[in-house]
Amino acid sequence: RFQFCTIQDQIKKQQNSYSNITDKIIQYVGRDLHKIPSHPLGIIKNRIQTFFENDAITEKQSKYPLKYKIIDNLSPIVSVKQNFDSLLVPSDHPSRKKSDTYYINENQLLRCHTSAHQVELIEKNIDAFVVVGDVYRRDEIDATHYPVFHQVEIVRIFQQDQFSSKYLQHQIQESMDDLKETLERLTRHLFGDVQMRWVETTFPFTNPSMELEIYFQDKWLEVLGCGVIHQDLMKNCQRLTEVGWAAGLGLERLALLLFQIPDIRLFWSQDPRFLDQFKSGQINKFQPFSKYPSCYKDVSFYVDHKTWEENDLHSIIRDIGGDLIEKVECVDTFYNKKKDLTSKCYRIHYRSLERTLQNEEIDILQFKIRDQIKDLLKLELR
């Protein structure tokens, strides 16, 4: 408890007018759902941890069978340097924008990925590690997106003599093969015998970069991003001649699939009808409990499409409505030539997972949201 208070106080103390973090978001910091052994996120985290403790050494790695160091207690408060600069993220990359990331002040933020810790750990010469932690992103609101979620980062760096060739290009290829073998085995450890496919992608800090997709419940789904650690990043860590790989995966994504949980907000529920369904070490299908009715309200306003940032709207709605917001969707857009403005209509769906909402209480929230759209976003309501 004491520790939770300090990290929240730490954020509040360091926040300045640059910050876009609301008190609602601060309340999530320190909940550490991944450390609760009987919580779906904790169950998946422990399964991944067991894999890396017991079964993850490939033939290639067996020359130096390093134990993966499991690290799950790093503070989510990191610097811009840790989260972006150290990972070679370009200065104009969209993920740096205030519309996407929660800043405490100009230099500090709530990490938007566990990759933020890669460089500091590689610099300490830890050559095999797993980082687990909460990450924060300003995002849309729906059944699979939440502004706080949990990631696992895995890194493995090789010694020169573990490669069969002294050429960098070959070593990169060999690292890639090891990466694929490890992650395919991890995926089978979690999902059993599923179909998988590798898709090329790009990340600023890996080259080449890949995503792994699995065929699950009649769909191809992305489960992780990974790649060979960029050589410039290794050089910045004073690891001039070494080559290795990194991977990152989202715990919610995995848990939603494996437990068949229909809505990401349930992970934050304190309702015993949710929590009592799970046992440490066990993956079982979630039994939905009766859903209470939903209701929606529309709000329309004019925006300048050149400067419009939808995430600012989502922040306001979530800040006021909290977990009563099920979904926000844009149901109408049209350009008004005379005003040179675009009219937008958003539909806000309200639903409680715990009770039936009264129309009067939703009206109160809806009016607050309308007021803030006027006052904070300076938009003209229709």
Rounded to a whole number of angstroms, the minimum distance from the CB of residue 212 to ligand PHE is: 11
Nearer to ligand PHE, 10 or 95 (CB): 95
H/E element, 121? helix 118-123
Nearest to 14 by CA among 6, 3, 4, 24: 6
Nearer to ligand PHE, 209 or 366 (CB): 209
- Name, in order, each residue with C-beta under 8 angstroms of 336's C-beta and a sequence gap of 6 or more: 302, 342, 343
Rounded to a whole number of angstroms, the minimum distance from the CB of residue 131 to ligand PHE is: 10
Q: List b or e across 208-232, with b for residues whose CB sees 16 or more CB atoms inside 10 angstroms.
A: bbbbbbbeeeeeeeebbbbbbbbbe
The residue number whose beta carbon is nearest to ligand PHE equals 248
| Window of 212-220, 241-249, 307-315, 325-333 that interacts with ligand PHE by CB under 6 A | 241-249
Among 19, 86, 115, 315, binds ligand PHE (CB under 6 A): 115
Rounded to a whole number of angstroms, the minimum distance from the CB of residue 227 to ligand PHE is: 5
Among 133, 227, 244, 321, binds ligand PHE (CB under 6 A): 227
Regarding 82 and contact with ligand PHE (CB under 6 A), the answer is: no
Regarding 137 and contact with ligand PHE (CB under 6 A), the answer is: no
| Window of 16-24, 100-108, 223-231, 298-306 that interacts with ligand PHE by CB under 6 A | 223-231
Q: How far apart are CA 91 and CA 128, in angstroms?
A: 29
Nearer to ligand PHE, 212 or 317 (CB): 212
H/E element, 327? strand 325-336
Helix axes 359-375, 310-321, angle to 10 degrees: 140
Among 225, 259, 286, 318, binds ligand PHE (CB under 6 A): 225
For residues 79, 83, 85, 90, the Cα torsion angle rounded to the nearest 10 degrees is -130
Regarding 353 and contact with ligand PHE (CB under 6 A), the answer is: no
| Window of 99-107, 141-149, 242-250, 257-265 that interacts with ligand PHE by CB under 6 A | 242-250
Strand partners of residue 78: 109
Q: How far apart are CA 95 and CA 289, in angstroms?
A: 37
Regarding 113 and contact with ligand PHE (CB under 6 A), the answer is: yes
Structure tokens at 258: 């494996």
Give the single-character DSSP code of 63.
G
Q: How many CB atoms lie within 10 A of CB 115?
A: 27
Region 139-158 residues binding ligand PHE, contact defined as CB under 6 A: 153
Among 157, 247, 313, 362, binds ligand PHE (CB under 6 A): 247
Q: Tell me how many residues contact ligand PHE (CB under 6 A).
A: 11
Regarding 226 and contact with ligand PHE (CB under 6 A), the answer is: yes
Regarding 248 and contact with ligand PHE (CB under 6 A), the answer is: yes
Q: How far apart are CA 211 and CA 199, in angstroms?
A: 5
Structure tokens at 87: 């990972």
Rounded to a whole number of angstroms, the minimum distance from the CB of residue 57 to ligand PHE is: 20
Give the single-character DSSP code of 92.
T
Rounded to a whole number of angstroms, the minimum distance from the CB of residue 226 to ligand PHE is: 5
Residue 12: C-alpha distances to residues 2, 26, 66, 109 (Å): 15, 8, 40, 12
Regarding 203 and contact with ligand PHE (CB under 6 A), the answer is: yes
Nearest to 103 by CA among 85, 80, 75: 80
Rounded to a whole number of angstroms, the minimum distance from the CB of residue 46 to ligand PHE is: 21
The sign of the CA dihedral 114, 118, 120, 121 is positive
Rounded to a whole number of angstroms, the minimum distance from the CB of residue 67 to ligand PHE is: 20
| Window of 126-134, 139-147, 243-251, 368-376 that interacts with ligand PHE by CB under 6 A | 243-251
H/E element, 189? helix 168-191
The sign of the CA dihedral 54, 253, 369, 309 is positive
Regarding 246 and contact with ligand PHE (CB under 6 A), the answer is: yes
The contact pattern for ligand PHE, residues 250-289, with x = CB under 6 A and - = no contact, is ----------------------------------------
CB 237 within 8 A of CB 123: yes
- Judged by the rule CB under 6 A, the positions of this chain that interact with ligand PHE are 113, 115, 153, 203, 206, 225-227, 246-248
